[in-house]
A and B are shown apart, each in its own frame.
Chain A
């Protein structure tokens, strides 16, 4: 059989002359021609019969790969074609002779042989088999079975949505799906029928544009980037979407190899977001990123730590095409470089046994300084006992490479680890921004709430701010002095926030009593005391949030911020440590600020007088330890609360005339007993 396929070019031409009398079209294709998708005569190519799309079962490609003849029937619209691909070796080189016959109704009864409905079903089946159900792009299966091994000259790009995971997690999968659909429809609108867009996985897409010039491809990528970033995603809280794009030109290369190269460029673009990085340079990026982008081959710098110059040289040699490298010959030098270059180092390759400071000591330092979370470490050693490797992982290394190194594996692992960390860094910074926004909103809400109470109470808005600051200062002094109360940083934050709510119960007290200018009668005082219980019950009725630390703490603060250490406070007469520490701290802060502020029933006292009154027990008895704290920080209090506070009152007075006017006429300078209200 082998001799049957051998021809000279002359023999082949003669044969074609004869065959073209029988077939509607006859053509000879070399391996190169077969794979280059020349769109000018695309309609003539067997592989392009399908209106310009790749055939899903190109017999010519199969024929040249399997070295044998292949035949198929294909419907294009309503016309049926018979395509035969013959494998030939002409002058020793592989060729395919394509024989194409149009089978029309009049001179063929083939249509009876092939049921047209069945054929259409097959087309539908293939379409479904190779289409991504969500986006309408080709799916991974199409890539695996028809694209990855193809050798083409084409523009090839990888697209990856920026922060897609975050959008998915924050806004839900429904929005995530819409984002993907939007992206794909933008791209599909911009590409030709002969191009393929494949959803490789998750939010990663591969675009293959056969036969396109570099200039046109460049233009296409820019346009895609621009249109995606200005696309609107329906019902998505105005979510803007952006992509990072890596682009390369394939010159008669297998798509899978080219895609891997494009992926590396995509990853470079990822460090800037909303950018395009290509073999011919970074062609577009958001303005803020332009400054930070160097002219180097990559922004990724690897620190290679090994005491043997030889080993360092081998590693650097393996990495130098893709990364910049720095070298250190022992642990101490490595730490020095880490502190000098910081996050400009993307990854550390770390040997274990070294003089001066070994690899494990470096890891220990990186852990204690917290840099191991930012800069990944891959450990390298010929030590391969399991305990050794386990210890390395426990100390936070991302990966472990054994000697002897394999260049490809080293590059791949380094690249994957950097990719993972870059993504994580971006996510972390976005997350912390969102947390900050949420936290601010929470503070605004609590601020508004407590201000409502103060407004009714005719107090200046500064009271709550003062209570916040004083509570915070007292608490941080308290934890310095003792660990008796076991207050974490979070506990303290919660108490500070709860302190804003200490007087919410006053919303339930009659205006006439609340703003009475003279001394309260015993009966009125009993009613006034109820603000503690009312505040607590308001919180108790919030059934939904009962387990929230803020609600629990606010309950204690509201109910017990008028209790006193000797049991003579109200409403429950709790004594000593029966009073939760949160309420104890807030009550001391409350008393100080009440004393130095002007109220409808009293003038303001100076800082010194207020301190004296508190220490003399004129406002009730407090926890001696808290009084010590107050004493320790009194200068700070004077500077941050009292001095600033008086300034604030003055300016507030000017602005808040409407509110204050009512009370200014008859300020009550009277008695001290009410201060504990």
Chain B
């Protein structure tokens, strides 16, 4: 599995990100770094603590990161969650939370598989 297939598996736009970043190695490097990104955890923490502000910022950041990396599927659901949390109320955002969870898992799994196959 190469990076292109990895992008395909997570429902992301590889051609777009390559055009913007300019090189394969840059895309690979940042895709790998996505695993360390803390914004998804921030959403989870915020929701668990009933802290809508933190959850909103987590969603907002995740959306920005996905946009930059061309992770289109995860971008779409995190953008929806951002809008649902914009009023800083957690209630009512359950559906988009679940969508973000689902897409995040799919993205993370794809990256880990690609990582394991290529980098041991």
A residues contacting B by CB (< 8 A) are 307-311, 313-314, 317-318, 351, 353, 355, 381-382, 403-408
Q: B34 touching A407 by the CB < 8 A rule?
A: no
A353 x B22 contact (CB < 8 A): no
Contact among A307, A310, A355, A408 for B33, CB-based, below 8 A: A310
The answer to whether B20 and A405 touch across the interface, beta carbons within 8 angstroms, is yes
The answer for the CA separation of A113 and B26 in the assembled complex, in Å, is 62
Interface residues of B (CB under 8 A from A): 16-17, 19-22, 26, 29-30, 33-34, 36-39, 57, 60-61, 63-65, 67-70
Inter-chain CB contacts under 8 Å: number? 58
Q: Please determine whether A382 and B22 come into contact, CB atoms closer than 8 angstroms.
A: no
A357 → B minimal CB distance (Å): 13
Once the chains are docked, how many angstroms separate the CA of A353 from the CA of B17?
Answer: 23
Chain A CB within 10 Å, residue with most, of B19, B26, B36, B68: B68
> Please, which residues of chain B bring their CB within 8 A of the CB of A317?
26, 29-30
**Nearest neighbor of B30 in chain A, beta-carbon distance:** A314
Give min CB distance, B63 to chain A, whole Å.
6
Q: Is the CB of B20 within 8 A of A406?
A: yes
* 26 contacting pairs across A/B (C-beta < 8 A): A307-B57, A307-B61, A308-B39, A310-B65, A310-B68, A311-B64, A311-B68, A313-B30, A313-B33, A314-B68, A317-B26, A353-B61, A355-B57, A381-B64, A382-B64, A403-B64, A403-B67, A403-B68, A404-B17, A404-B20, A405-B20, A406-B20, A407-B20, A407-B21, A407-B22, A408-B22
User: In the complex the two chains form, is B21's CB within 8 Å of A353's CB?
Assistant: no
> A308–B65 contact, CB under 8 A?
yes
Which residues in A have their C-beta under 8 angstroms from that of B60? 353
Closest A residue to B68 by beta carbon equals: A404
The residue of chain B having its C-beta at the shortest distance from the C-beta of A408 within the complex is B22
Chain A residues within an 8 Å CB radius of B61 = 307-308, 311, 353
In the bound complex, residues from chain B placing their C-beta under 8 Å from that of A407 are: 20-22
| Residue in A closest to B63 when the chains form the complex, CB atoms | A382
Considering the chains assembled together, what is the distance between the CA atoms of A317 and B68 in angstroms?
13
A382 vs B67: C-alpha distance in the bound complex, in angstroms?
8
Find out whether the CB atom of A310 lies under 8 angstroms from the CB atom of B20: no
Measured CA separation A353–B38 after assembly (Å):
16
Considering the complex, give the chain B residue whose CB is closest to the CB of A314: B68
B68 and A353 within 8 A (CB): no
The listed residue with most A CB atoms (<10 A of its CB), out of B20, B30, B69, is B20
- The interface residues of chain A lying within 8 Å CB-to-CB of B21 are 314, 318, 407
Q: With A314-B68, A353-B60 known to touch, is A309 a contact of B20 (CB < 8 Å)? A: no
Q: Is A311 a contact of B22 with CB atoms below 8 Å?
A: no
Chain A hits for B37, CB < 8 A:
308-310
